[in-house]
Structures are given as structure tokens and as C-alpha cells.
Amino acid sequence: MKRYQVRSSASSILEWSHAETLADFIFPWESREAPKTEFRALWDETHLHFRFDCQDDDLVLPDGPTAKDRVIESDRVEIFFAPDLSLNPYFCLEMSPRGDVLAYEARFYREMNWDWRCEGLQIDAHIENDHYTVSGSIPLDTLRQLKVLRSREMHAGIYRAEFHHMADGTVHSGWMPWVNPNTERPDFHVPTSFGVLELVD
């Protein structure tokens, strides 16, 4: 199982250069080059901090009355957390380049509770030219209450949805996981798409 080491932040100012860079996102279900996608995470005494940096020269950002409407068909990055690989339950954060968040609880297979909220979640997002950044933080207490963080490890899926406009006016949906789940069709909602995040000093 893939593992990512989340290093400790020694300062109240996050030094992202000290974080391990996770950059091996791929398109398992199509043969095209994946745009540059980097994930970093740090932790301190109270929070898990994360950051996505994504190259994207054709953003798809639909409008809609709710965050769910705006996120579900949008370019976005995603983090799923699970207490264990039964995925009963697991917790999902889908975040757009505009800072909209779709947070929900789910149970295998794809039984969604759209009313769930991630207590204490903070998100910041920026778009600049052909690049966007989504960063945020989650209280460690929230992860412990959800029984996701046990000792210093947690099961997590890290993903990117990369959409782009086609010549005929339609939108193509591309799916980029950190861990290739080896499913026949694109699917992040399976145990094989998860790795382990380990908090290290």
C-alpha cells in the first residue's frame, strides 16, 4: 500500500518547501499525459494542513445555486478519509479552484449522506493564469472524533478531477488518483484507491 509521510511543521508559518511532494498522479483509464499535479501536507499540534498545486489551462467552473451544483461538474481536487478499508463509513472533501467545497459522508458502495459537514475545515483557493492552488486545514480532533486518525496514521485517498472543453462544446471528464485502484471504469469510491498518510516528526 502506498504511503505518504506528513512532516511536522515547526513554525506557525507553513513552510511548504519542507513538505514531501506527492506528484505521481496519473490517468489510469485513458492514454494521455497527466498535467502537473502536486500534493503536500504538514501537521502541527492541532491541525492537518494540505495543499494542491495544479496546472490547468482550460478550467471548467460551472455556476449553480449550491456548492454541490458548482463542484460536481467542476475541475477539482479531492481527499477521502476512512477509519478502515471497509469504507463503512468514509468521509469526502471535493474542492474546486474557486474554493467551493462538497463535503459528505458515505458508506460502501456510494451511499451518500450529503448533509454531513467537516467540523473546523478551512479552505483557501487561488487561480492564476494556467494554474490553481487549493489549500486547507482540518483539526486533528475532528479526524480523531471520526476515528480516521489512529495513533499517527490514517487511510486516505487523494485525487484530482481534470475536466476540459471539447471542440464540439461538450466537457470531457478525466480522473487522476494518487493510487491506481485498478478498476475497469473510473472509480475513487473503492478501498483500492486509498493509501496511508503517516504523521512523522
Over the stretch 102-151, which tens digit does the pLDDT of each residue have? Answer: 999 999 999 999 999 999 999 999 999 999 999 999 999 999 999 999 99
Architecture (CATH level 2) of domain 3-9+30-200? Sandwich (2.60)
* pTM confidence score: 0.97
Q: Where are the domains of the chain?
A: 3-9+30-200
pLDDT in tens, 1-52: 999 999 999 777 899 999 999 999 999 999 999 999 999 999 999 999 999 9
DSSP letters for the chain = --EEEEEEP-SSS--GGGSPPB-----TTS-SPPPPEEEEEEE-SSEEEEEEEEE-SS------SSHHHHHHTS-EEEEEEESSTT-SSEEEEEE-TTS-EEEEEEETTTEEETT---TT-EEEEEEETTEEEEEEEEEHHHHHHTT--BTTEEEEEEEEEEEEE-TTS-EEEEEEESS----SS--SSSGGG-EEEEEE-
